[in-house]
Structure 1
Amino acid sequence: MVSFKRSLSIEILDSVNAEQKKIKTESEPPDCIILDDDFDEKADEIVENLEETHFHKIASVITDCDPDFIREKLAIYSTIVANPVETIVNEILDAKTYPKIIDFLKKKKKQEHAQSALNKEYSIEELCKTYSDPIAFFNDQRRRRSDSYKMCSLIFLGNKFQHLSPISIENVLISVNYALVPAYHSLTEAFLPRENVLKMRCGTKLSVCFRHKYKSYKYLNKPNDVKPYPENLDEDFLRELWFIKNESSVTTLFFQQKTL
């Protein structure tokens, strides 16, 4: 096994080195002068091509590996080792287990299912018939929310306000009994008008704190990662998410009907 890995690594390394020379030759032909304005763009293109070459080399050897896992490894090793392909191949072959492509496909299917649910449409007319006052209903903080609803709301607001700390977001949710609509309104009012100022204040700092209506918030210089939703989304959450996206239309129709 060791000799196989060593010969395999040498073969891969030779192939990648040849590809590097090819990319360099093609991107910088003899007597070609790269202007300063074009240098960064050309350099980025070379790096991107090289990373794709590395990815395909690894994927061709370990064909059942999750492609996201390979790219994560490349993001780590590309800048810290001379031969990332050899390093990653050896590391994966040494591992007892590693994420498989079948897991990647399952994850992708779940994400597509969740995205489809997030885009679910409701009829404004039916909504106004179902609830005597949809605006009051969706802003009602006294209603009990399920744990699934709370989790989905936390994920949505975290993804929407990536520069706010998770604790700041959860504190707002707690203050309104986890009601999504009023929490969304509070965060929008507190954060969006200050976003550019907070970015300037933060500068090179990790974070800065600010207050709005007696609540404390923390602005993060580096945005939080987007979090995935669970496979099965809470129906009440989906309905309220739709209301947030269509609040203006619902409000207009509701008050039109009241005047009839």
Structure 2
Amino acid sequence: MAATLSVNLNAVAMLRNRRDLPWPSVTGLGRIALQAGAQGLTVHPRPDQRHIRFSDLPEIRALIDDEFPHAEFNIEGYPTDDFIALVEKTQPEQVTLVPDDPAQATSDHGWNFHASRELLAPVVKRLKRGGMRVSLFCDPDASAEDLAVARELGADRVEIYTGPYGGCHDDSSKAAKHLKDIEKVGVAARSLGLGVNAGHDLTVDNLPALVRALPDLAEVSIGHGLTADALVHGMAGTVERFLKALGGAQVK
């Protein structure tokens, strides 16, 4: 079964926020993505609301509940008290916890699970008690020991940070090396009973090799590359292209 595609709407929101105007519509483009076959929507509401705004969350929740009840809402973020309250109010199907400093431009590393155990353990427990699946952002070279801690913390999944792999778009030999590391992490995670997600700098060009390396991949969350593609192919056409790539096909 092919991995599911969750469309990250942050880049759409960032473009909207350049003006005090309601377009491009975050929910409108989310609707187009889901109509085209995407299985979920992802957002990362940062404290400064520089892209997704807190007010977007109930609108996206309502869009999924009212029109696409089989789709999933995934909210990413650093587990501050405010973030936890936000997701408990919104009730996404999945919460992806990332170790980002609020000032970071984007997620660029996974958790140090050993060092963050005391922070993460009560948060994971609380979110799971609230009925939400929990995924923890994971480095692409994480060890089996690291992943074992993630499992002990109660995580349902890990999301492998694929930035180094995606960054090798012009160097196939380096990309192959990073892909081997990702494959090792995926195998180790699955052996521990963890589901495997992936995200960051994924494109229609590098997705087929990724899904071959991770045949049990559960979900990819894609924003920047997908939004860039949508400027050329439109949101519906782009979602179709990414779904084809997730099925293992090369896309021209």
Q: What TM-score results when the alignment is normalised by the length of structure 1? A: 0.20
Structure holding more helix per residue = 1
Which structure is higher in strand share?
2
In our comparison, the structure showing a higher alpha carbon Rg is 1
